[in-house]
Amino acid sequence: MNLTKKEKDTANLLKIKFSEVRSEIENVQSEMEWLNTKAGSLIKELESLREQESNFIDSLQEKYGEGKLDPFKLIYTK
């Protein structure tokens, strides 16, 4: 059976909306992949900074002896 004009219009509109939603889902998936990559990169950077901090504290301890660094006042106390 042939569809009426109204039925054809409805079917075409549904087809268009499905396509739009599918496209949006693909965009979200791409963004999620980018965010996962960015998160991994930031985690590596954080690990590197923690290692640098540890090395810095070690160098202060070698120079001044056992103590603690106040990160706000930038004072090292034994």
Residues 7-64 pLDDT 10s = 999 999 999 999 999 999 999 999 999 999 999 999 999 999 999 999 999 999 999 9
- 63 CB-near residues (< 8 Å, 6+ apart): none
Number of domains forming the structure of the chain: 1
Identity of the residue numbered 59: S
pLDDT band with cut points at 50, 70 and 90 for residue 65: very high
User: Of 24, 46, 43, 25, which Cα lies nearest the Cα of 35?
Assistant: 43
Residue 20: give the domain boundaries.
5-77
pTM: predicted TM-score of the whole model, two decimal places: 0.68
Given a contact cutoff of 8 angstroms between Cβ atoms, the answer to whether 67 and 76 are in contact is: yes
